[in-house]
C-alpha cells in the first residue's frame, strides 16, 4: 500500500508540475512578455490584441480586419498596437518613414503566399534591392509614354477592347447588365494581351470564349477568402492539406477540411500563364521573332533579361513575374470600374454623371476611332473624369487593406520605439477616410478633387497605388483602361441602378474581406446590376 501511495503521490506531483509549467508558460507568453517586457507596451491599443496574434486572426476570419483597425485608430489615435509584434499607423510622417524611398523597410513573409511556380517576383521580394533590380527590367515598358505610344501594344489593345465592350452592351441593350462579370472579362483580355500579346496567350473573354471566361471562376469563388485565411494563419497545415493525394485526399475531402475545393485559387490563371510562357519560350528556341510585334511585356522582359551580362533569371523566374502581373491586373481594374459606374448610377449622384457626360461629349470626333472609342491620349486629359476616378479609388480602393513592412533594426516612428522585426503597416482604407482631410469622407464627391485649395493636401493622403519604390508598376496601364472605357460608355449611354440591384452596394473580395459601400444596408457579393440607356 505504501508503494502504491508513493507512486500515486509522485503521479499527482508530476501532473501539478506540468499544469504549473503550462500556466507559467501561458502567463509569460501572453501576459508578461507582450504586455510588460517590450517597448511596444507604450503603444496604445486593446490589451487583447497586444496579448495574442489570434485576436487579429479572428477579425481576419470574420472579414472585419480593415474596418476594425480603422475603428481602433478612431478610438486610440494615429498609432495603434494590433498584435504582440504588430503596430498600425495612420499619419503622413509614418507614411514617409515606412514607405518612402530609401526607408529600408522590407516586405514581410506575408507576401510569400503570392509566389508563383515556387519563384519570387516583383510583388513578393522582401528586399528593396532585389525589387529594384527586377523593376529595372520592366519599368520602361510600363511607363506612361509607352502606354500612350501608338507603336506599342497597350494603346491599340485597350482601344480595341473598349470597342468590344461597347459591342457587348449593344448586344444586350434590352436587358440590365451584370457588370461585375463583364468588367472582369474586359480587364482579363486587356492584361493578357498586354503581357503576352494577343497571339501568344491573350484571351478573348469579351468575344464569348467560355474557356477564357472560366479562368475567372476561382477568383470570384467566395471560398477564396477562407483559403487566404488558412494560407496566412495556418500556413504549414494548409500546405499539407493541399499536398495530399489518394486515400488521404479522399478522407480530407469527405471530412470537409479543405477551405476551398481543388483546383484552388488562381490555378486556372497560373496554368494559362505557364502555357503562354512555355509556348513563347519554345518559339524563341527555334525562331528569332515571336508571333506578336515584340512590344508585349513577355517579349520585352525576355529581351531585357537577355541583354544583361550577368542575368540570374531563368524561364520560371520570368513566367512567375508575368503570372503575378496577370493576377494583379484583373480584380484591381475591374473592381474600380464597377464602383465608378455604380456610384455614378445612384440617384443621388445623377449630377456627377451628367457633368461627366458633358465633359466626354466634348471629345472631338477626330480624337475617336470609327467605333466612337476615344483615343487614350484624349481621355488622359479630362479633369472631371480624373476626379471621378480619384474619388472612386479613394472611397473604394480595390486593395484597401494594410501593407505590412518590417525593419531589421530598432527605429522610432511618431515618437514610439519600434523594436527590430516589428511588423508595421498602414492602409488606404484609413488614410482615405481622414475627416480632417476629406470632408464627409464616406460621401462620394468627385468635385472635391476640383477644389484647387484642397487638392495638394488630399494628394498627400491618397494612397490607392501605394508609394515610394514599391508604388504599383501598372498604374499607367490601369488608368488608361479606366479613363478610356468610362469615357466611351458615357459618350454613348446614361446609366442607372437596375431594380435587381435594389439599392444594395456591390461587394468585392480583397484577401480575407468583402468590401462595399458602408453607407448602404445591403450588399450583393460579386454582383452589380446596371441599366444602360442609349443617349439620344
Three cell numbers written together for 326 = 496577370
pLDDT tens digits, residue range 29-39?
767 677 777 99
pLDDT tens digits, residue range 472-522?
999 999 999 999 999 999 999 999 999 999 889 999 999 899 999 999 999
Give the pLDDT band (50/70/90) at residue 24. confident
| Overall CATH class of domain 104-221+265-534 | mainly alpha
pLDDT at 289: 54
pLDDT tens digits, residue range 67-92?
999 999 999 999 999 999 999 999 99
- What contacts 24+ positions apart, CB below 8 Å, involve 119-124? 119/316, 119/317, 119/319, 119/320, 120/320, 121/317, 121/320, 121/321, 121/323, 121/324, 122/321, 122/324, 122/325, 122/473, 123/324, 123/328, 124/324
User: What is the pairing mode between strands 423-425 and 86-89?
Assistant: parallel
pLDDT at 290: 47
pLDDT of 273 higher than 90:
yes
pLDDT at 308: 67
Using the 8-state DSSP alphabet, how is residue 11 labeled? H
- Provide the mean pLDDT of the chain: 91
Q: What is the mean pLDDT of residues 207-229?
A: 90
Give the pLDDT band (50/70/90) at residue 6. low
For residues 153 and 297, give the distance between their C-alpha atoms in angstroms, rounded to a whole number. 9
pLDDT at 293: 60
pLDDT of 47 higher than 50:
yes
Question: Please, is 469 exposed, middle or buried when counting C-beta atoms within 10 Å of its C-beta (0-12, 13-18, 19+)?
Answer: middle
Q: Is 472 annotated as a binding residue?
A: yes
pLDDT tens digits, residue range 300-325?
999 988 776 556 789 999 999 999 99
Amino acid at each position: 500500500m505504501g508503494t502504491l501511495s508513493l507512486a500515486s503521490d509522485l503521479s499527482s506531483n508530476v501532473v501539478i508540475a506540468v499544469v504549473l509549467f503550462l500556466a507559467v508558460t501561458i502567463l509569460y507568453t501572453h501576459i508578461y512578455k507582450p504586455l510588460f517586457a517590450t517597448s511596444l507596451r507604450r503603444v496604445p491599443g486593446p490589451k487583447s490584441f497586444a496579448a495574442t496574434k489570434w485576436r487579429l486572426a479572428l477579425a481576419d476570419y470574420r472579414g472585419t480586419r480593415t474596418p476594425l483597425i480603422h475603428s481602433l485608430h478612431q478610438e486610440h489615435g494615429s498609432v495603434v498596437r494590433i498584435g504582440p509584434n504588430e503596430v498600425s499607423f495612420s499619419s503622413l510622417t509614418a507614411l514617409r518613414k515606412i514607405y518612402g524611398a530609401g526607408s529600408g523597410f522590407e516586405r514581410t513573409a506575408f507576401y510569400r503566399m503570392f509566389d508563383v511556380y515556387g519563384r519570387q517576383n516583383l510583388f513578393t521580394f522582401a528586399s528593396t534591392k532585389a525589387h529594384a533590380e527586377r523593376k529595372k527590367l520592366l519599368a520602361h515598358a510600363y511607363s506612361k509614354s509607352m502606354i500612350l505610344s501608338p507603336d506599342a501594344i497597350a494603346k491599340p489593345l485597350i482601344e480595341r477592347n473598349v470597342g468590344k465592350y461597347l459591342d457587348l452592351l449593344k448586344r444586350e441593350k434590352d436587358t440590365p447588365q451584370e457588370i461585375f462579370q463583364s468588367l472582369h472579362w474586359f480587364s482579363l483580355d486587356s492584361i493578357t494581351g498586354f503581357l503576352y500579346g494577343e497571339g501568344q496567350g491573350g484571351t478573348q473573354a469579351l468575344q464569348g470564349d467560355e474557356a477564357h471566361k472560366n479562368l475567372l471562376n476561382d477568383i470570384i469563388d467566395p471560398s477564396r477568402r477562407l483559403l487566404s485565411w488558412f494560407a496566412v494563419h495556418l500556413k504549414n497545415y494548409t500546405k499539407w492539406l493541399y499536398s495530399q493525394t489518394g486515400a488521404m485526399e479522399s478522407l480530407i475531402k469527405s471530412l470537409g477540411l479543405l477551405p476551398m475545393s481543388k483546383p484552388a485559387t488562381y490555378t486556372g490563371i497560373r496554368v494559362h500563364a505557364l502555357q503562354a510562357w512555355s509556348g513563347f519560350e519554345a518559339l524563341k528556341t527555334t525562331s528569332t521573332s515571336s508571333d506578336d510585334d515584340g512590344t508585349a511585356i513577355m517579349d520585352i522582359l525576355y529581351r531585357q533579361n537577355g541583354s544583361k551580362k550577368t542575368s540570374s533569371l531563368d524561364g520560371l523566374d520570368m513566367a512567375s513575374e508575368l503570372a503575378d502581373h496577370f493576377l494583379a491586373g484583373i480584380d484591381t481594374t475591374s473592381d474600380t470600374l464597377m464602383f465608378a459606374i455604380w456610384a455614378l448610377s445612384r440617384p443621388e449622384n445623377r449630377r456627377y454623371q451628367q457633368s461627366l457626360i458633358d465633359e466626354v461629349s466634348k471629345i472631338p470626333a477626330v480624337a475617336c476611332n470609327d467605333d466612337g472609342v476615344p483615343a487614350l491620349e484624349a481621355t488622359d486629359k479630362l479633369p472631371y473624369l480624373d476626379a471621378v476616378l480619384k474619388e472612386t479609388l479613394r472611397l473604394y480602393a480595390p486593395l484597401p487593406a494594410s501593407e505590412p513592412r518590417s525593419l531589421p533594426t530598432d527605429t522610432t516612428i511618431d515618437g514610439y520605439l519600434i523594436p527590430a522585426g516589428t511588423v508595421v503597416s498602414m492602409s488606404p482604407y484609413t488614410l482615405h477616410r481622414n475627416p480632417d482631410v476629406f470632408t464627409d469622407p464616406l460621401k462620394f464627391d468627385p468635385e472635391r478633387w476640383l477644389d484647387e485649395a484642397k487638392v495638394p493636401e488630399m494628394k498627400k493622403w491618397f494612397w490607392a497605388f501605394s508609394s515610394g519604390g514599391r508604388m504599383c508598376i501598372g498604374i499607367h496601364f490601369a488608368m488608361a483602361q479606366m479613363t478610356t472605357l468610362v469615357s466611351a460608355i458615357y459618350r454613348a449611354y446614361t446609366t442607372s441602378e437596375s431594380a435587381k440591384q435594389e439599392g444594395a452596394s456591390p461587394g468585392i473580395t480583397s484577401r480575407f474581406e468583402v468590401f462595399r459601400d458602408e453607407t448602404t444596408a445591403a450588399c450583393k457579393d460579386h454582383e452589380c446590376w446596371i441599366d444602360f440607356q442609349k443617349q439620344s
